[in-house]
Amino acid sequence: MTERIKCLIIGSGPAGYTAAIYAARANLSPVVYEGIEPGGQLTTTTEIENFPGYPEGVAGPVMMEELKKQAQRFGTEVRFGIITKLDLSARPFTAEIDGGTGSVQADAVIVATGASAKYLGLPSEQRFRGMGVSACATCDGFFYRKKDVAVIGGGDTACEEATYLASLCRQVYLVVRKDYLRASKAMQRRVFTTPNIEVIFEHNTKEVLGDDNGVTGLLLLSNGGTEHRIDVDGVFLAIGHHPNTELVQGQVDLDEQGYIITNRGRTNVPGVFAAGDVQDPHYRQAITAAGSGCVAALECERFLAQND
């Protein structure tokens, strides 16, 4: 017989675990499936210095382990496994686990599957991830104070990150593959009027250069075919994010960028909630994800009280 649970939480980042803490304390006996990347994106960052409550900062994997323990303390069951299919057509909802090796039925589901930063796909970029290659200036910019860095991308995120980094770093290169920025005019103006940002138009990144200590530069290739090296200590990818919505596509409403549309944590499907980066194209911070996890769990509790 298929196991029946009250509250299924998919994803184990700050949104998933915060939802679990609240759901467990509300006696919903939540079950968290950790997913492909247990602990979420924060496990790929080094130090987190902007999460309230850690005056000395905390390593991403350590914080996620603590969140997990906190959720377990109140009775959350955390399972290693991936939800591979979700049927939201009728309650109880059905989730297939690990490609069909098991399944569960849930009275309510909180989707906290996160978003993944897009990377260029270069082997050298992978080699230096966490050693100079980052996809989050707010998280890692502080480590490059008074150093030279590059931001790759020409959208609002790239411009915002370049402007933020310019306040910390000596020199910021903004590497843009076209001959114009896609960002809003206001963002462009900020970039062009910041003296220590240099925009390098019509260049792609051929390779991230580095040694055992981390990144030392970027090898760029102009659209005209010439190679050109810049010396930098850090490289920030800002070429977009991909919300992890594959499980719910065609079942819940998504916005034009593919993020789940929520209203106070609720999706358009009664009993299905979403929290964290999978429903947030704007802030993408651990603390906002955690806050939205709380909202989703409180709404889930209300829903189950009214409908069961």
> CA 165, CA 141: separation in Å to the nearest integer?
6
Cβ 153 to ligand NDP shortest distance, Å: 4
> CA 43, CA 62: separation in Å to the nearest integer?
8
Cβ 198 to ligand NDP shortest distance, Å: 16
> 307 and 271 in contact (C-beta within 8 Å)?
yes
Closer by beta carbon to ligand NDP, 157 or else 267: 157
**107-146 mask for ligand NDP (x: CB under 6 A)?**
-------------x--------------------------
Among 114, 154, 217, 271, binds ligand NDP (CB under 6 A): 154
Q: Is 277 in the site for ligand NDP (CB under 6 A)?
A: no
Among 73, 85, 178, 264, binds ligand NDP (CB under 6 A): 178
Cβ 293 to ligand NDP shortest distance, Å: 21
Contacts of 108 (CB under 8 A, 6+ apart): 6, 7, 8, 28, 93, 271, 272, 273, 300, 303, 304
Active site residue 136: yes
DSSP 132: T
| 3 state DSSP class of 103 | strand
Among 75, 214, 258, 281, binds ligand NDP (CB under 6 A): 281
Cβ 154 to ligand NDP shortest distance, Å: 3
Q: Which of 7, 87, 98, 136 is catalytic?
A: 136
The Cβ of residue 255 has, within 10 Å, a number of other Cβ atoms equal to 11
Give strand pairing partners of 148. Answer: 171
> CA 51, CA 71: separation in Å to the nearest integer?
18
How far apart, in Å, are the Cα atoms of 40 and each of 12, 65, 103, 114, 148?
6, 11, 23, 7, 29
Closer by beta carbon to ligand NDP, 99 or else 123: 123
Q: Which of 7, 107, 139, 280 is catalytic?
A: 139
Counting beta carbons within 10 angstroms of the beta carbon of residue 20, is it exposed (0 to 12), middle (13 to 18) or buried (19 or more)? Answer: buried
Residues 180-209, interacting with ligand NDP (CB under 6 A)? 182, 204
Closer by beta carbon to ligand NDP, 75 or else 155: 155
> CA 181, CA 34: separation in Å to the nearest integer?
38
Total number of residues that touch ligand NDP (CB under 6 A): 17
Using CB under 6 A, list all residues that contact ligand NDP. Answer: 120, 152-158, 160, 177-178, 182, 204, 238-240, 281
- For the annotated catalytic residues, the residue numbers are 136, 139-140
